[in-house]
């Protein structure tokens, strides 16, 4: 038994020697290159991602990613791609990390490593009280003919399809399309995360209302390639440090607890009234 055990341990040790350089790669590559390639969604969805009047990126995710680059002493380089392509671009090595309100799911974890969560959101059904069909009264909105708008290719769409079996799920291209569809009465409701439901009801208290308790909650984290254990350990430590020193809470209070940032937006990018990409 000792001989067999020793032989197995020798093989495992040799395998570990072969794998360790790959595990150390991503973070060393970033430092040697002098830049962190950050995958973000090209769609605007404030307060997570948007642009100021000069065209410069801003938002909670931009602050998070910029600070991560700062602690690595490298330059942040944002790579904007359609939200649905983020995972592919990470797997292909086009970006080093995804920092884009990226929801942790078991399916995504099959091809990426996730950091500990640095954000979360509760999703609510926001209904247009002026377009409610008679069959959708008394809180029962899963009825024939009821249309629920979601952002296409997101966790919101996936979960909504599992919850609304009789209603029609309407996948829309981006947050602007979702907002327009609700405003025009083309859908009866949307699935939206905090803080959007509050914004919507404050702006149109006579029209929009919360249709239920929170439908589901999600956690957002930074994603890296599967061979980046050392890098994800560093990111976890950085998140923990910012939790303890209060910097993460300060950023969340600014972007999600106030509207102070609205004055920084350009005229065509304002706080949206629908779900951010998940």
Task: Break the chain into its structural domains and give their ranges.
Answer: 2-118+221-264, 121-218
What does the pLDDT read at residue 47? 86
List the one residue out of 203, 125, 207, 197 whose CA is nearest residue 159.
125
User: According to the model, what pLDDT value does residue 114 have?
Assistant: 98
- What does CATH list as the number for 121-218? 3.40.190.10
| Among 76, 43, 52, 64, residue whose Cα is nearest residue 252 | 64
The distance in angstroms from the start CA to the end CA of the chain is: 51
Q: To 10 degrees, the CA torsion angle through 38, 47, 113, 80?
A: -30
Report pLDDT for 1.
Answer: 45
> Beta 57-58 vs 50-51: how paired, if at all?
antiparallel
Find out whether 225 and 133 touch, Cβ atoms under 8 Å.
Answer: no
What is the pLDDT, as a whole number, of residue 272? 43
What is the C-alpha to C-alpha distance for residues 33 and 27, in angstroms, rounded to an integer? 10
CA–CA separation, 82 and 71 (whole Å): 27
Q: Token match 């067999």: residue?
A: 4
Could you list the pLDDT tens digit for every one of the 278 residues in the chain?
A: 444 434 444 444 444 434 444 444 689 999 999 999 999 998 878 889 988 888 899 999 999 999 999 999 999 999 999 988 999 999 999 999 999 999 999 999 999 999 999 998 888 888 998 888 877 767 788 889 899 999 887 778 888 899 899 999 999 877 778 778 888 889 999 988 877 777 777 778 889 888 878 888 889 999 999 999 999 999 999 999 999 999 999 999 999 888 788 888 855 444 443 334 45
Q: Which two tokens stand for residue 27?
A: 């973070």
pLDDT the model gives residue 180? 83
Helix H segments across 190-259?
196-203, 229-245, 247-256
Whether a cis peptide bond, with omega within 30° of 0, leads into 246 is no
CB atoms within 10 A of CB 105: 15
> Which of the four CATH numbers 3.40.50.720, 3.40.50.880, 3.40.30.10, 3.40.190.10 does domain 2-118+221-264 have?
3.40.190.10
Report whether 121 contacts 232 (CB < 8 A). Answer: no
Q: pTM to 2 decimals?
A: 0.74
Rounded Cα distance between 156 and 163, Å, is: 11
Do 121-218 and 2-118+221-264 have the same topology in CATH? Answer: yes
Using the 8-state DSSP alphabet, how is residue 137 labeled?
-
Q: How far apart are CA 113 and CA 229, in angstroms?
A: 8
| pLDDT for residue 266 | 58
């Amino acid at each position: 038994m000792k001989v067999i055990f020793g032989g197995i341990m020798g093989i495992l040790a040799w395998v570990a020697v072969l794998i360790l350089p790959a595990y150390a790669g991503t973070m060393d590559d970033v430092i040697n290159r002098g830049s962190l390639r950050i995958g973000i969604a090209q769609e605007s969805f404030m307060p997570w991602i948007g642009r100021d009047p000069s065209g410069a990126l801003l938002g909670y995710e931009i602050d998070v990613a910029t600070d991560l680059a700062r602690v690595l002493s490298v330059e942040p380089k944002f790579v904007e791609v359609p939200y649905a392509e983020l995972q592919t671009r990470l797997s292909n090595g086009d970006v080093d990390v995804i920092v884009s309100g990226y929801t942790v799911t078991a399916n995504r974890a099959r091809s990426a490593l996730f950091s500990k969560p640095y954000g979360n959101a509760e999703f609510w059904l926001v209904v247009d009280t002026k377009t409610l069909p008679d069959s959708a009264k008394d809180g029962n909105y899963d009825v024939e003919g009821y249309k629920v708008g979601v952002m296409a290719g997101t966790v919101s769409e996936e979960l909504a399809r599992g919850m609304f079996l009789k209603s029609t799920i309407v996948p829309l291209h981006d947050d602007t399309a979702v907002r327009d569809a609700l405003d025009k009465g083309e859908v009866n409701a949307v699935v939206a995360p905090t803080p959007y439901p509050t914004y919507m009801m404050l702006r149109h208290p006579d029209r929009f209302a919360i249709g239920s308790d929170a439908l589901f909650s999600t956690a957002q984290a930074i994603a890296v390639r599967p061979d980046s254990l050392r890098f994800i350990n560093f990111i976890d430590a950085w998140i923990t440090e910012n939790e303890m020193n209060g910097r993460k809470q300060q950023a969340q209070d600014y972007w999600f607890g106030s509207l102070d940032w609205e004055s920084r937006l350009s005229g065509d990018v304002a706080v949206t009234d629908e779900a951010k990409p998940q």
